[in-house]
Chains A and B, each alone.
Chain A
Amino acid sequence: MENKTLKQLSAGLASGEFSSTELTRHYLDKIKQHDGTYNAYITVTEEQALAAAKQADEQIAAGNAGDLTGLPIAYKDLFCTQGVRTSCGSKILDNFVSPYESTATDNLNKAGMVMLGKTNLDEFAMGSSTESSYYGATRNPWDTDAVPGGSSGGSAVAVAADLAPVSLGTDTGGSIRQPAAFCGITGLKPTYGRVSRWGMVAYGSSLDQAGPMAQNAEDAAMIMNALAGFDAKDSTSMDKPVDNYLADLNKPIKGLKIGLPKEFFGDSLDDGIRAAVMDAVKQLEAQGAIVKEISLPRTELAIPAYYIIAPAEASTNLSRFDGVRYGYRCEDPQDLADMYIRSRSEGFGAEVKRRILVGTYALSAGYYDAYYRKAQQLRRMIKQDFQAALADVDVIAGPTTPSPAWKIGAKNQDPVAMYLEDIYTLSVNLAGLPGISVPCGMKDGLPVGLQIIGDYFSEAKLLNIGHQFQQATDWHTRKPTVGGNS
């Protein structure tokens, strides 16, 4: 059961090599043993997990199990899970037990998956390092002094350190792809509207999307088959047929046209990452892909546009945390105003407050046009750039991040320095396109991610390319030494 892919574990369950209960206990034990080092989990749901595993075993015995029945999974603590604390990494929700289930987790639970627990994240998904959580920083298993990336750092580490065979993350500006790159796993951000946002606590509502964080593209495809789909409870969910993401995995990529945006290979790109990504591109070429240079001229403008739109949406999404109906309320409020101000000021951490302030300012009278409206206009231009590029090539490839994982504490005092690290991922969310990050090399003992961006609803193609790449390379099979510094 050690270091097995989801697919291998699925086969093990099917053949009776081990039961879901044994498999679940195996992971629960590993979490107990090692998570003190990594802090990947906020909450471990042992009791529920064993109950779900037992039910899965019964289903397997009865012969009506699916692909995913009995397989353990970890959920980012941004998904509402009924009867389980849903903290969003924030003091303000430390005592919040969700009375309802998110559609994303519900889909996976219904497919028979066993929730091991809720993983750590930057508070309300606002961050790129998983350092801003009320529950402390998560550590990168490749170097426990390094950040795992964020905001889905706990979900990335759970998979990288084999404290879960697979996990669920969310991506607003790179929060699946960047930690996947930093931790050497595969992470897919689907097209906006492909996975329901119902019950996924909102950060930037027009940007947020849930997706799988897995050991490889094939495992991610298995999850996508259960995760994706229309949900009438989400007005932004798209009523479009869902692909069978496993069907095309083995299609050869001969003739695939890949565009390399020259703006993704500028001066700010780390040389080691540039080399690893170019090697990966050569590998794809060797498999028959046709590579050409393209341009995404507003790449740099995605940073300002994103850092207006996301905080603006967040500033009002977070207004509901007011101490009235749930969540933290300050001690002995003097009056209503005092209750609002102290509950929120004591309940939110510094980066969340910073983004609320930026967003509030950007929407305030006299600044709306210069900031919010301008950013939304730029957003359309960025989308148009992608559409023009994708008219010419099938997919766009480049680095997921400009540099590998940095040391804990290196950037969290300088928000702008951290924001600049999101340069290759933000524009994908602004345009609503799908993107995948697959491991493609190492730089000084830290993993490097290759990002592939596709047209709307082309997740099957991205998974196909990822899988084909992983058939020819072994970066995705490399594992950190769990239990100590590598």
Chain B
Amino acid sequence: MQWETVIGLEIHVQLSTQTKIFSGSSTQFGAEPNTQANEVDLALPGILPVVNEQAVAKAVAFGLAIDAEIGKKSFFERKNYFYPDLPKGYQTTQLEAPVVGPGHVEITLDNGETKSIRIHHAHLEEDAGKSLHEDFHGMTGIDLNRAGTPLIEVVTEPDMRSAEEAVAFAKKLHSIVTAIGIGDGDMSQGSMRFDVNISVRPKGQEEYGTRTETKNLNSFKFMEEAIEMEVERQIDLIEDGGKVRQETRLYNGDKKTARAMRSKEEANDYRYFPCPDLLPIILDDDYIEAIRATLPELPDAKEKRFMADYGLPQYDASVLAASAAMADYFEQTVKVCGDAKLAANWCMGELSKFLNQQELDISACPIPPENFGQLLARIKDDTISGKIAKQVFQAMAEGEGSADEIIEAKGLKQVTDTGAIEAMVDEIIAANQAQFEELKGGKDKLMGFFVGQVMKISKGQANPGQVNQILKKKISE
């Protein structure tokens, strides 16, 4: 039977505010346990929440970035359940009237096809603390530093039909979040957490199959693997006469395994109701427009502009536009070197390779874009070859100075003086008289040998084009 996969995502995005959503405690990552949890975060008796204005502003910015309706009157509700890392015994969240209503995100697939993924809504809520299961004499330790960190939970419609689509969407959402600066998007620290709802159905069937939820996938690679594994599991299960059970599953990316979470004894009944400690958030058009005015260029618009202004192919434009920091770096590089395609190739090639190796974000790149642009300018004006440029790049990365300084210090300037090249060509011909006669006799294969020898004695600095030209002249003499 032909099966169709149906995928919907729920994404928790930590908002990069200074303080928590309902208290003035710091949200900085990595502090000693419970040192950033005050009486509000600990849910002491008698405490009350007050909403952080930046949490609201960032949620609205997100809504505008996905072309969503903004809730002009949204309110918080209590979602009631007991868990040790949930201090109040309820999560303050939104259900009936979220701050961000329906919107959409466009994705581009590898085959160039585009697709619009509908966003059901996005709501503001507070994060929970962390349970540490290392052994404390058989007990669990609770750290509430993260409790109360502002989140938006983005909920998609079940619009994705493959792991590829889901990952393309996840990457796109990530690029939007980082472009508008509402979150750092660091998946390894849990700043952005993806839960994937997966079901399968016979192709052509309207009705959805029973879905499972796979939680907290902390890289795009794990997401792709987990989806493929789960789809296969569900299809095998059904084809063997079984039934998919609605359950929450945990994927282990290191072991490449997944398992169902211990099913709760009773069905959850969260007893949502409007939080009486908080009043409705009323937003007017002026407020919304003021936030719209602060929005930077979004990845989609940037991609189009890169294609139009720089003549980049769509692939290059979309890769560069996906990260606001990379896009900025690219644009500053172009300003200096004046060749967009060269800059794009180098940003996506050598630079990205280096950053990946060093596990650095572009924002932490040790080479300023001005220097990087200068390096590319030297390729363009034939001062150095592309091969030498890679050598210069390494030296720049190691902090040896600017491109020009390194070229100068190491004497890497390309030899373009015809006389000097001709002298080298003559030297090689004199040393390889017999082969030269064969070359003259029509054995063209030897051309490469002669060019190579000249490049070798020039330490790679001779302009290969000129070497070729002069050799041809010698042959025809």
Question: Once the chains bind, are B273 and A235 in contact (CB under 8 Å)?
Answer: no
User: Once the chains are docked, how many angstroms separate the CA of A322 from the CA of B87?
Assistant: 9
Question: Once the chains bind, are A320 and B43 in contact (CB under 8 Å)?
Answer: yes
* A residues at B contact (CB < 8 Å): 79-80, 86, 88, 93, 96, 98-100, 102, 197-202, 204-206, 232-236, 312-313, 315-316, 318-322, 324-326, 336, 340, 360, 363-365, 368, 372
Do A236 and B279 contact each other (CB < 8 Å), given the known contacts A319-B80, A319-B88, A364-B271? yes
Cβ of A199 to closest chain B Cβ, rounded Å: 4
Chain A residues within an 8 Å CB radius of B39: 99-100
Question: Once the chains bind, are B142 and A324 in contact (CB under 8 Å)?
Answer: yes
Chain B residues within an 8 Å CB radius of A316: 78, 80, 88-90, 271, 273
User: Once the chains are docked, how many angstroms separate the CA of A206 from the CA of B278?
Assistant: 9
Cβ of B333 to closest chain A Cβ, rounded Å: 48
Question: Looking across the interface, which residue of chain A has its beta carbon closest to that of B24?
Answer: A233
Counting contact residues on chain B (CB < 8 A from A), the size range is 20 to 34
Question: Once the chains bind, are A99 and B44 in contact (CB under 8 Å)?
Answer: yes
Chain B residues within an 8 Å CB radius of A319: 80, 82, 88-90
B132 lies within 8 A of chain A by Cβ: no
User: Which of A319, A321, A364 neighbours the largest number of chain B CB atoms within 10 Å of its CB?
Assistant: A319
User: Once the chains are docked, how many angstroms separate the CA of A49 from the CA of B194?
Assistant: 55
- Cβ-defined partner of A326 (8 Å) among B44, B90, B142: B44
Question: Once the chains bind, are B82 and A80 in contact (CB under 8 Å)?
Answer: no
Do A235 and B49 contact each other (CB < 8 Å), given the known contacts A325-B42, A326-B44? yes
Chain A residues within an 8 Å CB radius of B272: 363
Chain B positions 32 through 56: 1 when the CB is less than 8 Å from some CB of chain A, otherwise 0? 0000000100111111111100000
23 contacts between A and B (CB under 8 A): A80-B44, A80-B45, A86-B46, A99-B39, A198-B48, A199-B46, A202-B45, A202-B277, A204-B276, A235-B49, A235-B50, A235-B279, A236-B48, A236-B277, A313-B276, A316-B90, A319-B89, A320-B89, A322-B82, A322-B84, A325-B44, A360-B271, A363-B272
Question: Looking across the interface, which residue of chain B has its beta carbon closest to that of A90?
Answer: B45
Cβ of B434 to closest chain A Cβ, rounded Å: 88
Do A100 and B44 contact each other (CB < 8 Å), given the known contacts A324-B87, A368-B273? yes
Cβ of A412 to closest chain B Cβ, rounded Å: 24
User: Once the chains are docked, how many angstroms separate the CA of A115 from the CA of B271?
Assistant: 40
User: Once the chains are docked, how many angstroms separate the CA of A93 from the CA of B45?
Assistant: 9
Chain B residues within an 8 Å CB radius of A326: 42, 44
Question: Looking across the interface, which residue of chain A has its beta carbon closest to that of B43?
Answer: A320
Tell me the number of A-to-B contacts counted with CB atoms below 8 Å: 100
Do A80 and B49 contact each other (CB < 8 Å), given the known contacts A236-B277, A312-B273, A322-B82? no
User: Once the chains are docked, how many angstroms separate the CA of A33 from the CA of B273?
Assistant: 48
Chain A residues within an 8 Å CB radius of B90: 316, 319
> A316-B273, A324-B142, A365-B269 provided; 5 other pairs, C-beta below 8 A?
A98-B44, A197-B48, A232-B50, A235-B48, A319-B90
Question: Once the chains bind, are B276 and A325 in contact (CB under 8 Å)?
Answer: no
Within B125-153, the residues touching A (CB, 8 Å) are: 140, 142
Chain B residues within an 8 Å CB radius of A365: 269, 271
Chain B residues within an 8 Å CB radius of A235: 48-51, 277-279
Within B75-93, the residues touching A (CB, 8 Å) are: 78, 80, 82, 84, 87-90
Question: Once the chains bind, are A363 and B273 in contact (CB under 8 Å)?
Answer: yes
Question: Once the chains bind, are B87 and A325 in contact (CB under 8 Å)?
Answer: yes
Chain B residues within an 8 Å CB radius of A80: 44-46
* B residues at A contact (CB < 8 Å): 39, 42-51, 78, 80, 82, 84, 87-90, 140, 142, 269, 271-273, 276-279
State the 4 A-B residue pairs at the shortest beta-carbon distance, nearest first.
Answer: A319-B89, A363-B271, A205-B276, A206-B276
Cβ of A269 to closest chain B Cβ, rounded Å: 32
Do A322 and B45 contact each other (CB < 8 Å), given the known contacts A100-B39, A340-B82? no
User: Once the chains are docked, how many angstroms separate the CA of A205 from the CA of B273?
Assistant: 13
User: Once the chains are docked, how many angstroms separate the CA of A206 from the CA of B275?
Assistant: 9
Question: Once the chains bind, are A325 and B43 in contact (CB under 8 Å)?
Answer: yes
User: Once the chains are docked, how many angstroms separate the CA of A205 from the CA of B49?
Assistant: 12
Cβ of A230 to closest chain B Cβ, rounded Å: 12
- Cβ-defined partner of B48 (8 Å) among A96, A234, A340: A234
Question: Looking across the interface, which residue of chain B has its beta carbon closest to that of A313?
Answer: B276
Question: Once the chains bind, are A320 and B88 in contact (CB under 8 Å)?
Answer: yes
Cβ of B40 to closest chain A Cβ, rounded Å: 9
User: Once the chains are docked, how many angstroms separate the CA of A360 from the CA of B42?
Assistant: 23
Cβ of A294 to closest chain B Cβ, rounded Å: 29
Do A322 and B46 contact each other (CB < 8 Å), given the known contacts A235-B51, A363-B271, A368-B273? no
Chain B residues within an 8 Å CB radius of A79: 46
Chain B residues within an 8 Å CB radius of A201: 45-46
User: Once the chains are docked, how many angstroms separate the CA of A365 from the CA of B95?
Assistant: 14
Do A205 and B277 contact each other (CB < 8 Å), given the known contacts A235-B51, A363-B271? yes
- Cβ-defined partner of B45 (8 Å) among A86, A360, A363, A368: A86
User: Which of A233, A324, A365 neighbours the largest number of chain B CB atoms within 10 Å of its CB?
Assistant: A324
- Cβ-defined partner of A363 (8 Å) among B47, B80, B277: B80
Question: Once the chains bind, are A200 and B46 in contact (CB under 8 Å)?
Answer: yes
Chain A residues within an 8 Å CB radius of B80: 316, 319, 363
Chain B residues within an 8 Å CB radius of A86: 45-46
User: Once the chains are docked, how many angstroms separate the CA of A315 from the CA of B142?
Assistant: 24
User: Once the chains are docked, how many angstroms separate the CA of A320 from the CA of B81?
Assistant: 10
Cβ of A173 to closest chain B Cβ, rounded Å: 14
User: Once the chains are docked, how many angstroms separate the CA of A201 from the CA of B47?
Assistant: 8
